[in-house]
Chains A and B, each alone.
Chain A
Amino acid sequence: MRFPFGQPVTRRLLLGGSALLGGVQVVRLALGAASAQPHGLGHGAVPAVSRQSVAPSAAHVAHGGMMTVGEVDAARNGFDPHTILTSWDTGEVIWDGKGHLCREFVVEASDKDVEIAPGIIFPAWTYNGRIPGPTIRAMEGEQVRIIFRNRGSHPHSMHFHGIHSARMDGVPGAGDVLPGGEFVYEFEAKPFGCHLYHCHTVPLKRHIHKGLYGTFIVDPDPARHPEHEAAARSRLLGTPENRGWQEFVMVMNGFDTNFDDENEVYAVNTVAHAYSRRPIVIDRARPVRVYLVNVTEFDPLNSLHLHGNFFDYYDSGTTLTPTLKTVDIITQCQGQRGILEFTFKDHEPGHYMFHAHQSEFVELGWMSMFDVRGEIA
């Protein structure tokens, strides 16, 4: 008389059972017309329940209920994913004491609780109190000096993807900094491209997925690339050509909130659904350049798919001509990165989605939108 009660009942068992036994009239009688499935819930028709959870907007109609509930307190976090998109840390140009000009940056590691999705607090490790860390930007050939202070509770380092000496590699034994300690990384910014930096202290997975990573952009020096000078000038921050572009840095990341080596939350620049809740405003008259970095842990791949448009892709950003032309999905392995260039100039204004093309990541937060506008005041 023990009953299939609280134990897993498989469909196969049930189907097999009912086929074997024939009649299921009683069930039909009991359930009858009661099989009221929720019709039209998925699209358009917003059920009454969701009324309080999200403010209505065009962007919200598109998610059809597939959305986190509530808002992340950016003030409490101390950073806003929208600000991270366009904030470049260009350091400070100083004389290095040996008679050379040098670009100096200061980065501090610290422990910090970060709200990575509405209401979910992640005990993170951060560079300069934010995830991703500051977007460090220099020009090809410049001397770079990074003063790294560890204010965290564990040893940390900064390992730059770039060309530098073993002493400056930021790995155990070379630039690994104990809590309270300091290290100065010095190297020449090269090669030009879209790179990243991250903590290389062991255990590696833990140190990276807790939040210790950021983007390292080396702009090409137009003088060194006469054959592609225009392209190089458009990439170099501060030039009039560069000001014609809308540049964004997007770090694809994930968070394993219960430490089971699987991500509960996926996002771009940390906060789940940040850019679907409040889409990124695009002036369709100006081209778009995205510095895309994948630091997702646990999943080998992440991707970006742009809706209604195609883009050119520069793998690692180390070339001035595209490595991949006219695609609408780019896949990146862990640590892989590149530059996307596209334009909406011939598009009608509206909301254009972009997201991972792994549906799993989409449904767990990596869903975003461009709000393409005709005229920007």
Chain B
Amino acid sequence: MTTRRTILAVVTPLLLIVAVAVAFLTVDPLRSLTGAAPPIEQVTVERHVLDGDGIALLVRVGGTAPVRIAQVQVDGAYWTFAQEPPGELGNLSSAWLRIPYPWVLGETHHFAFITRTGLAFEHTIDVAVATPDTNSLGVLGLVGLFVGIVPVALGMLFYPALRAGGTRSFGFALALTIGLLGFLLVDTLQEALELAADAAPGLHGAAMVWLVAALAFVLLLAVGRRKGGEIGGFALATSIALGIGLHNLGEGLAIGSAFATGAAALGTFLVLGFTLHNVTEGIGIVAPLVQERPRWPVFIGLAALAGLPAVVGIWLGSYAFSPHWAALALAVGAGAILQVIVEVGGLLMRRSATQGTSWASAPAVLGVVLGVAVMYGTALLVQA
């Protein structure tokens, strides 16, 4: 009896909501306000592919009414195009526009999409280069290894030194890790928000980034502590590697899309910069392991967890990625990084409590500052 009442209590308001919506749509009390105003429309380009057939653009539309892309201008000229799927596009749906346009290597191309209502939405390809094809998968993967695996593995080589340094260096390494993660948190969030701004406005990218980051943080914290209490040692190292891995996925996306958008003229220097920048990440991952004796497969696993996402990111970034999906991945990364900051911080404070010292000891403060400084300093190498 009570269950039936509960169900009724849930269903009734839902039905009423539907009823109100239907009534509102039927009566349309706002008609006198909106009159014959044209619908609101939005067209955003999410991806482009340049090859021997011309230019293909993935567009996503938004609007109060279905959007029909009537004509396409390339560099101020109406050009033939084929739309897949054809016809009107509903709110937030996407389609490929294939334009047999003779694009010019290394030059800029401008697009305007004229909808049925005469609105013009613009898009620019800053530097036209052929979209890497599957033949380049190997080379791009190699770039990913250089940016992801190599620096993390190199950073892990500091492990013996950290062990030799004893408890003082352990605390310092943890503090260093916090500084490093703090930098990554800011960086990841910033990148996620930038991507969100590029996504179709109807998706409310910025709100999504904040909410997903918060949810990921809470969720990962809960999963990490499901056995009760704070985590340390191997579990903490794994968490750090996961957070850094998600961040490196974002870096990979950025590098991959740089190849795809022609910004990769900075290639070698850029890749080297990222490599140096990411060495610190290796130190951060192994810091919680200083008081344990892990076997070498553990290191390999952690390096893979933190570094391989860069390879995936580069592949996705250069072939197939939409800003909102990338923003989503980076938001999860930001949440994960915040979680490990909390955990590493907790570990550091527990240690100082057992040793009877302040958590804000000189090595700890120095470690945090140094972590941020090193990350910022090496980031200068990859500034465009």
Cross-chain contact A17 with B251 (CB below 8 angstroms): no
The residues in B between 355 and 384 inclusive whose CB is less than 8 angstroms from any CB of A are 379, 382-384
Interchain CA distance A364-B255 in the complex, whole Å: 36
Majority SS at the chain A contact face: loop
Q: How many residues of A contact B (CB 8 A)?
A: 67
Enumerate chain B residues within 8 angstroms of A25, measured Cβ to Cβ.
267-268
Name the residue in A8, A34, A53, A258 with the highest tally of chain B Cβ atoms < 10 Å from its Cβ: A34
Enumerate chain B residues within 8 angstroms of A47, measured Cβ to Cβ.
53-54, 100
Cross-chain contact B116 with A69 (CB below 8 angstroms): no
Separation in Å of the B342 CB from the closest CB of chain A? 23
Cross-chain contact A26 with B143 (CB below 8 angstroms): yes
Cross-chain contact A120 with B265 (CB below 8 angstroms): no
Separation in Å of the B113 CB from the closest CB of chain A? 11
| Nearest-CB residue, chain B, relative to A70 | B70
Judged by a CB distance under 8 angstroms, whether B214 is at the interface is: no
The answer to whether A49 and B98 touch (CB under 8 A), given A3-B384, A8-B126, A66-B78, is yes
Name the residue in A33, A257, A364 with the highest tally of chain B Cβ atoms < 10 Å from its Cβ: A257
Judged by a CB distance under 8 angstroms, whether A75 is at the interface is: no
Separation in Å of the A54 CB from the closest CB of chain B? 6
Name the residue in A5, A17, A46 with the highest tally of chain B Cβ atoms < 10 Å from its Cβ: A5
Judged by a CB distance under 8 angstroms, whether B108 is at the interface is: yes
Cross-chain contact A36 with B130 (CB below 8 angstroms): yes
Judged by a CB distance under 8 angstroms, whether B211 is at the interface is: no
Contact with B along A114-155 (1 / 0, CB 8 A): 000111111100000000000000000000000000000000
| Nearest-CB residue, chain B, relative to A51 | B82
Interchain CA distance A23-B266 in the complex, whole Å: 9
Separation in Å of the B139 CB from the closest CB of chain A? 5
Judged by a CB distance under 8 angstroms, whether B103 is at the interface is: yes
28 CB-based A-B contacts, threshold 8 Å? A1-B379, A2-B190, A3-B191, A3-B255, A9-B261, A13-B384, A23-B268, A25-B267, A26-B143, A35-B105, A36-B133, A37-B52, A37-B103, A41-B100, A42-B102, A49-B53, A49-B80, A54-B80, A65-B101, A69-B81, A117-B114, A119-B116, A120-B70, A120-B118, A264-B114, A363-B76, A363-B78, A364-B78
Residues of chain B at the chain A interface (Cβ within 8 Å): 51-54, 68, 70-73, 75-82, 98-108, 112, 114-120, 124, 126-127, 129-130, 132-133, 135-136, 139-140, 143, 187, 190-191, 194-195, 197-198, 251, 254-255, 257-259, 261-269, 271, 274, 277, 323, 379, 382-384
